[in-house]
Amino acid sequence: MEHKLNYNDLWAYAPAPEDSGHVNIRDRYGLFLNGRFQDADSGKTFETHNPATEVRLSEVAFAGETDVDAAVKAARNAFDKSWNPMPPADRGKYLFRIARMIQERSREFAVAETLDGGKPIKESRDIDIPLAAAHFFYYAGWADKLEHAFPTRAVTPMGVAGQIIPWNFPLLMAAWKIAPALACGNTVVLKPAEATPLTALKLAEVIQDAGLPDGVVNILTGDGSTGAALVNHPGIDKVAFTGSTAVGKLIQNSIAGSHKKATLELGGKAANIILDDAPLNQAVEGIINGIFFNQGHVCCAGSRLLVQEGVADEVIAKLKDRLETLRVGDPMDKNTDIGAINSREQLNTIEGYLKLGQEEGAQIHQPECSLPEKGYWCRPTLFLNATQSHRIVQEEIFGPVLAIQTFRSVDEAIEMANNTPYGLSAGIWTDKGSRIFNLTRRLRAGVVWANTYNQFDPTSPFGGYKESGFGREGGLHGLEPYVNFD
C-alpha cells in the first residue's frame, strides 16, 4: 500500500501563541479630532471584531459629515497656524519621534494589527510594523531637505490632505499616507478602513504622546460614507486613496473639475513568470510568499503564475508539495503562515471565485489541512489549466488563490502578463540578467521584482499602471504628490 507522507505530522509544531496581555485595547475609541479623542457628533459607533475568533475587540466612533467638516477645519487651522509656519527641521523632529515611538511600542502594534485584521503575527511583527516605522524615519529625513529633493524648483505644501486607506495593511498604509504629507508641510485627515480601525487609533495615541500640534493629524473612523464625505469636502486640497478600483473610479469622478489633486493606488492581478532556466526551489518559495502568506490580502500579490512549459510539471509538483506544509490557523501563533480572511464578506467573495473558477473549467487543488471552527478561513488554492479569458485570471480575488497558466515563448509570457486591466506589479524568475532586463522593460507594471517578491523599502517608489491607479508612494517620488510646484 502506498504511504502518503503527512508533512503536518512530520513538521508538527507545538502551539506558540503570542501573548496579548500587554496590549491595551480600549473598550471604546472616539474620533481623533483636533488633538483629542471625542465621540462622533451623532453619537454613532460600530464594533470591530477579531476575524480569527469572531470576538468583539472594541467599539469605535462613526464619523459623519459634521465630524468630517470639523476635522477638515481643524486641519486647515493647524496648517495655517502651526504646521506650515514651523521650521522644516522641527517638523522632521516630530516625525522622528513618531517613528521611534512606533518602534518602542512595536509588539503592541503587531498584536493589535493581528487581532483586528487576522494576519499572521510573523507578518505584522516582521513586516508591517517595522516598515511603518521605517517610513516615518525615511520621510523625517526629507522634511528639511526638500530643496534637495526638487533642486531646480521651489515647492510649497498643498494644504489639507484627505487620506483613505484599506484593511490589508492598516498601520503601514497610514504611515505611507501620513509621513510624506507631514514631511512636505501638509496637515491630514485620515480615514482607516471600517474592518481594521485599531492600529490607526493607536497611532493617534502615539501622535498625541509625541506632542504634535492639535489638528495636524486627524483620524476619523467610519465607512464608505465617511470616506465620500471627506473626498467631497471643499476644504481639502488633495485626496490620497488606496483601495478598490471601483471606489477609485468613484473618487476620480467626484473630484473631476475641482482644485483637488489625487493619487490612487488600486487593485492588481500580478503575474509571476517562471522561465525555464529559473532556480526552481527559490522560485516556488517566492510564488508561495507572493500569494499565500498574508492570505493573498495584498494588492500586489502574485495571484497569477505563468510558467514555461518545459518546467511546468516540476514547478506544479513542487508547489503542491509546499502547499501541504503551509500552516493555516491561529494568526497569533508565530508558526502560522496563513491567517484568517479579514471578514465574512471577503470570505464570501473568495468562495464565489472558487466556485466560478471550477465552473469556468479550471481545475482546483487544495491541501487537506484542517481549519479552525470559528472565524473566517480559506485553504491555499491552486487553479490549474486556467486560461486568459477566465475571470479568475482577469479579476482581483484578494484571497489565497493562485491561477496557473503555461507559456512557450517569452513574448507569449509578456503578452499574457500584460493582458489584464491592471498593472501594479509582476515577478520574474530566471538565471539570466539579459532576460530580466528584456522582461522588465516590456511588462506594464509599476513594480517588477526579479528572483524575489513582495520586497518593500521606504526609499523605493510604489504605484500602478492602467486600472491599478496613478501616482507613486514611497521614495523621493512619494514627496511629489504632496507639494505644489510654484
- What amino acid positions are annotated as catalytic residues? 265, 299
Which one of residues 64, 224, 421, 461 is an interface residue with ligand ADP (CB under 6 A)? 224
User: Which residues are paired to 72 by β-bridges?
Assistant: none
Q: Is the C-alpha dihedral spanning 210, 214, 219, 221 positive or negative?
A: positive
Does residue number 64 form part of the binding site for ligand ADP (CB under 6 A)? Answer: no
The correct pick among 193, 262, 264, 369 for binding ligand ADP (CB under 6 A) is 193
Contact between 190 and ligand ADP (CB under 6 A)?
no
In this structure, are residues 280 and 385 in contact, taking their beta carbons and an 8 Å threshold? no
**Residue among 33, 228, 305, 404 that touches ligand ADP (CB under 6 A):** 228
Q: Give CA separation, 288 vs 57, 277, 352, 379, 444, in Å.
A: 31, 19, 22, 13, 23
Residue 184, C-beta contacts closer than 8 angstroms, at least 6 positions apart: 146, 155, 157, 158, 479, 482, 483
The smaller minimum CB distance to ligand ADP, of residues 64 and 224, is found at 224
Q: Is 191 a binder of ligand ADP (CB under 6 A)?
A: yes
Distance CA(111)–CA(131), nearest Å, equals 15
Q: For residue 484, which of 68, 75, 84 has the smallest C-alpha distance?
A: 84
Distance in Å, CB of 416 to ligand ADP, minimum: 26
Residues 6+ apart with CB under 8 A from 295: 118, 119, 338, 339, 340, 341, 342, 378, 399, 400
What is the closest distance, in whole angstroms, from the C-beta atom of residue 223 to ligand ADP in the complex? 5
Contacts of 465 by beta carbon, 8 Å cutoff, 6+ apart:
423, 424, 444, 445, 446
Minimum gap (Å) between residue 197 Cβ and ligand ADP: 9
Q: Where do the H-state alpha helices sit in 256-402?
A: 280-291, 309-325, 344-360, 391-394
Pick the closer one to ligand ADP by CB: 163 or 430.
163
Q: Based on DSSP, count helices (H) and strands (E) in the chain, helices before strands.
A: 17, 20
Is residue 275 at the binding interface for ligand ADP, with CB under 6 A as the rule?
no
Of 102 and 231, nearer to ligand ADP (C-beta) is: 231
Region of 96-104, 219-227, 386-394, 427-435 interacting with ligand ADP (CB under 6 A):
219-227
| Partners of 45 in the β-ladder | 61
From 159, 227, 296, 458, residue interacting with ligand ADP (rule: CB under 6 A): 227
Instruction: Decide: is 271 part of the binding site for ligand ADP (CB under 6 A).
Output: no
Residue 399 sits in the site that holds ligand ADP (CB under 6 A): no
- Give the shortest CB-166-to-ligand ADP separation in angstroms: 4
Q: CB-wise, 164 or 188, nearer to ligand ADP?
A: 164
Q: Which residue type sits at 280?
A: L
| Buried residues in 56-78 as b, exposed as e (16+ CB within 10 A) | ebbebbbbbbebbbbbbbbbbbb
- Does residue 92 sit in helix, strand or coil? helix
Q: Which of 69, 223, 324, 395 binds ligand ADP (CB under 6 A)?
A: 223
Applying CB under 6 A, among 67, 108, 116, 194 the residue interacting with ligand ADP is: 194
- Rounded CA-CA distance 184/89 in Å is 11
Residues numbered 149 to 178 that lie near ligand ADP (CB under 6 A) are 164-167
Supply the minimum distance, in Å, between the C-beta of residue 347 and ligand ADP: 13
With respect to ligand ADP, which residue has the nearer C-beta, 266 or 287? 266
Specify the stretch interacting with ligand ADP by CB under 6 A; choose among 224-232, 313-321, 427-435, 452-460: 224-232
Query: Which grid cell sits at 12?
Result: 508538527
Q: Assess 364 for contact with ligand ADP (CB under 6 A).
A: no
Q: Which of residues 231-270 bind ligand ADP (CB under 6 A)?
A: 231, 243-244, 247, 250-251
| Residue placing its CB nearer to ligand ADP in the complex, 178 or 193 | 193
Backbone angles phi, psi at 140, to 5 degrees: -60, -40
Write each residue from 327 to 346 as x if it is in contact with ligand ADP (CB under 6 A), else as -, in one continuous string.
Answer: --------------------
Burial of 368 (0-12, 13-18, 19+ CB in 10 A): exposed
Note whether 25 binds ligand ADP by CB under 6 A: no
Binding site residues, ligand ADP, CB under 6 A: 164-167, 191, 193-194, 223-224, 227-228, 231, 243-244, 247, 250-251
